[in-house]
Structures are given as structure tokens and as C-alpha cells.
Structure 1
Amino acid sequence: MAWSSSLKSLLTVFVFTSLTVSSVESYECTVYPCVISPCAVCTATKGCFNEIQRFGTPSSPTDGIFKQKGCVADSNTCSSLTISATLGNQQTFTYVNSCCTTDKCNEADLTLPAPSSTPNGVECPACYNDKANLCSSVTTLKCTGAEKRCIEVTGAGVGTSNSVIYGKGCATENSCGVEMTVFGNMKIKTSCSSPVSNHGNPTAKFVSSFLIFLLPLKFLL
């Protein structure tokens, strides 16, 4: 009797496992860069990723664009992310990654968000060097838009690449504490620090003016 019950339990487990495995949805994702035309596809169960990066200056908005598409590895988590940073010499970096889970949902190219020119009151030390991991001189940069954190970026080439970059400037909050490979062969690390100042911040100006107004009253009382 006990043996019969054990067989039934094993059969139940086998059927449940088979149903679970067979219920995992798979779909095709577009692969880019294309090796052949039309672009090849891969089969995924964790999602399709669609990535675009741009590195350059405001005067060259179409230069330095890198696109990549494919299947999210089974060991990774599918997540969407948008980050941006402005370093010394007006070197800008924008990264957008989109994740989706339907057939060839990553086929269309992504569009990079337009940079903001509106000052946000934050100022950060800024520099940029693509020859060494340091800067000989540092200036002050007025941050704009959502870039409200001061960032430091170090980068080194992977594989056969011996490229290096180092920079400081303004960045979005989610740019802090990032380790990632950009442009296919450059591994970067980022860290953030407090802003140099909040000049131009309406709240900061109001508090400062209010304290100056109260100071003479202290001597009159």
C-alpha cells in the first residue's frame, strides 16, 4: 500500500513539473547588430532587450551612437533603464534600455530623449580626459534638467581595447553606483557625491534671504 502511494506521489510531481516547464512562454527577439540581412532572431524566455547609447557633444547629436538588440540571458533580469550624464568639455552620455516580452517587440529602434537646457540650481566639478584616469584641471558645471547629482566616471577598455576615460560632471540619480559595459568594449564605474552648491535654487535663495532679514532683528530685541 505504501509503495503504491509513493508511485502516485512521484507521478503527480512528474506531471506538475512537466506542465510547469511546458507553460514557460518563449518568443523571438530581433538581434542587432545584423550579421546577415534581414537581422537574425534569437529565442528568449526572460525578455527581449533594445538598447541605444550616445556619447558626444551637443553640437554633434548624431555622432557616437551605439545600438544593440537581442535576448535577455536566462541568468539576468529583464529591466528598463534610462540614464544621462554631462561631463567636462560638454561631453554628454545618454543610455536607454527597454525590455519587452512579446514576439520581435524589440525590432523598432529606440529614440533618445532630448537633453534639457533648463538649469536646476546644482553645480558640480567637471572635467574629461580620454588619455588617463585623472584630470589635470577641474572646472564648475551648472547642471540642467534631471541631472541633479555630481558624478565621477572611470572607464577602461575590455578585451584587446586599451582605451581609458575619466570624467566628472552632472548626472541623473540612477547613474550613481553603476558598473556596466558601454559601446561594446568599455567597462565603466560611477560614483556620486554632494553638489558643489545650489546657486539658483529658489528654496536655497529664500532661506538665505530670510536669515539675512532676521539677523538685524536679533540686535534690536
Structure 2
Amino acid sequence: MQKALLSTCLLLALLPAVTSLTCSYCQQNTTSCNSQTNEVCGSNPSCVSGAMDNNIFPQYTVTPYQGCADSQRCHSGDYSITSANGRYLQMKVFCCRTEKCNKEPVYVPPREDLSPNGLECPACFGLTNFASKPICRSHGTVSCVGNETKCIDYSSTAKFFFRFNKQLKLKGCATEDVCALNGKRFSYGLLSLAKIVTKCSDASKQIDLEG
């Protein structure tokens, strides 16, 4: 009996300690968080501070977020996509793993403040129901803006809580951080992207037809 008890104690001592992490929390569908509270995270935690402006996911327009995140789904970066039919996404994310390390808010510039950078890419856009075959019809080319220097061929699943379950497929301009999501899973608040596939190449210079 004593040997069994000793073996159990030794086993427990070898197991990793259960740790908790407290993060600043704020989620509002506005341009800024007016107040912060604290959130205690679960297993494999990170704190995240981010901001997103997009017209791809209607549930999230201009949305700051601070709170807990799964470390395997939290990826710091400067994410920007310009696709067909005026579709775009801008997001900045900061992930960290110390107490309340996400207190500082993150901002993205207004879309109208981003200027074309002289590059362009082929473009298409498709957002279909989960059970449907993804469709991405070609729409010529789009002008890249800001830090977008890559042409991207992107696909993933996209879930928003229990109200949104889609397949996303697009081509267009992107930043290098978007390309780096290939094969990863990504979460931002209630939005989750999985089965991410990115194929990227350098964007080409636009041809000046004037003169």
C-alpha cells in the first residue's frame, strides 16, 4: 500500500504543474475598447491584443479584441488582404504569455488611408456554405495597398461562434504574415480559421498605360 502511494506521489510530481494566466479582456464591435476587465485563461494559454477591419466576415467589422487565446492558434503579425469585388481584411495581432501582457491596445489604420503601392495581383473571391464546393471566379487584377507585396491563393474554413460556418477561397494581394499562416490554425475572438492553405508569389508591378 505504501509503495503504491509512493509511486502515485512520484507520478504526480513528474506531471507538469497546472498554470493559469490572467489577461486583459475587452471585445466590442466598435473602433476601440472603452473599458477593460480581466479574464483567467484555461490550458495552453496566451494573451492576445488585436484589431481587425474587414468586409469579408459580416459579424466582425471594425473590432478590437483583448483576451485569452489558445497558444497554438495565436499568431502575432500584420495581416492584410485585398481581393476581388472590393473585399479586404486588415488585422494586427500581438500574442504574449505573461500576466496581463496584452494591456496595450492594437490599432489598424482606416482603410481609406492605405495607398496603392504600385503592385497588382490576380483576384477572385468566394465564400460558400461549408457543405458546398468552394468557388472562386476570376475578376481580373487588384491593386495592392500598404505593405501587401505578395500575390496569394488562399483557402480555409471559417467559423464564427455557432452562427457562421463557411468555406473561404480567394486570390489577391497579401502581406507576408498572411502567407506564413499556411498549414496553421488561427483564432481571433469568436472567429476561427482552420485548414489554411496559402500559395504565395511576389506581386508584379502595375503597367503604367498613361503617356
Structure 2: distance between partners of 1:139 and 1:184? 33
TM alignment of 1:145-184, pairs within 5 A: 145-158=146-159, 161-178=164-181, 179=184, 180-182=186-188, 184=190
TM-score (norm. length: structure 1): 0.59
Cα gap change, 1:156/1:183 in structure 2, threshold over 3 Å: closer, same or farther? Answer: farther
When the two structures are superposed, what TM-score results if normalisation uses the length of structure 2?
A: 0.61
Cα distance in 1 between the residues matched to 2:76 and 2:173 = 22
Higher relative contact order (CA 8 A, sep 6+): 2
Q: Could you tell me how far apart the structure 1 residues matched to 2:152 and 2:77 are?
A: 18
Equivalent position amino acid for 2:108 in 1: L
Instruction: Give the match for residue 92 of structure 2.
Output: 96
1:68 to 65, 69, 73: 65
| Structure 2 stretches lacking a partner, 5+ long | 1-12, 29-34
The Cα offsets for residues 41-69 of structure 1, whole Å up to 9 and x where unpaired, read as: 32699753212222128xxxxx7134432
For the structure 1 residues 26 and 66, does the alpha-carbon distance in structure 2 shift closer, same or farther, using more than 3 Å as the test?
same
Is 1:125–1:196's contact at 8 Å kept on the other side of the alignment?
A: no
What residue is the counterpart of 1:187 in the other structure? 193
Tell me if the contact between 1:119 and 1:144 (Cα under 8 Å) persists in the aligned partners.
Answer: yes
Q: Structure 2 vs 1, CA of residues 47 and 196 (structure 1 numbering), >3 Å: closer, same or farther?
A: closer
- State how far apart, in whole Å, the 2-side matches of 1:181 and 1:78 are: 6
Does the aligned pair in 2 maintain the 1:123–1:195 contact within 8 Å?
no
Which protein shows a greater Rg?
A: 1
Q: Which runs of 5+ in 1 are unaligned?
A: 1-16, 58-62, 202-221
Q: List per-residue Cα deviations over 1:26-54 (Å, max 9, x = no partner).
A: 863223449xx973432699753212222
Give per-residue Cα distances to partners, 1:139-161, cap 9 Å, x unaligned: 11122222110112223244674
Q: Is the 8 A contact 2:26 2:36 kept in 1?
A: no
Which is strand-richer, 1 or 2? 2
Aligned residue pairs total: 174
Determine which structure has the larger helix proportion and give its number: 1
- The alignment's C-alpha RMSD in Å is 3.9
